[in-house]
Amino acid sequence: MRLLIARCSVTYAGRLTATLPPAVRLVMVKADGCVAVHADGGAYKPLNWMNAPNTLTEEHGDDDVLRWRVENPQGETLEIAIEEIRYDWSEPLGEDPGLSKDGVEAHLQELLADHPDAVEDGLELVRREYPTDIGPVDLLCRASDGAAVAVEIKRRGELPAVEQLARYVERLERDPLLRPVRGVLVAQRIKPQARTLAEDRGLAWIEVDYDLLRGIDSGELRLF
């Protein structure tokens, strides 16, 4: 990794054009060749950057300005004109053992598979990941009135989730053994627009509380 604190101006030309006037910034070059220009604020996103793979060429201008030109295979370019270097540090850090994540996402589906009645009273699970030719439905259930219910589970309920569920229900409706099929979108939070579209498509929606569900689940486990 190389860390350069320098007064520089930057231009990116590619999917859009973005320019930075001269100022003191951090230029970070990682071992994989990616380059990022950071200001002293504004979250972790750099002002300008170029991801690997790319090629970096350096040239000295006659005006004491060092010019870096970073280009990627798509022809996008990042040009950094370095007027003054304040600090320059470089050393390999070595491989990183990597990040391990423990997500909330998969757990939510497990919990609801165990407690389908949290979605609708009397609902019983038929199968998780019920296959259709456009992909698996998260949960296929049977309601107390005998109707099939397709449940789509998301952490956040947005428009694409409604479309996805609508497609599933449409497919499942073609199966005479399942028909009629209702659809329910379940999420921790469902956006107003998604609610509107769901209702419009004849789909139900419900927000569930993850912590509450987990509490119910662990409470029941304690009974055994």
Partner DNA sequence: TATTACATGTCGACC
Partner DNA sequence: GGTCGACGTGTAATA
Interaction site with DNA (CB under 7 A)? 12, 14-16, 18, 42-46, 48-51, 72, 76, 78, 99, 101, 103-106, 134-136, 154-156, 158-161, 164, 191-193
How crowded is the C-beta side of 209, counted as CA atoms within 13 Å? 4
Stretch (H or E) spanning 117: none
Does 90 bind a copy of itself (CB under 8 A)? Our answer is no
Q: Which amino acid is at 187?
A: A
Nearer to a copy of itself (CB atom), residue 44 or residue 224: 44
CA distance 111 to 174: 29
Nearer to a copy of itself (CB atom), residue 47 or residue 143: 47
CA distance 39 to 68: 18
Does 93 bind a copy of itself (CB under 8 A)? Our answer is yes
C-alpha angle 54/98/103, rounded to 5°? Answer: 115
Which residues sit at the interface with a copy of itself, rule CB under 8 A?
Answer: 1, 3, 5, 15-21, 23-26, 28, 30-32, 34, 36, 38-49, 51-52, 86-87, 89, 91-104, 133-135, 155, 159-160, 163-164, 167, 193, 196-197
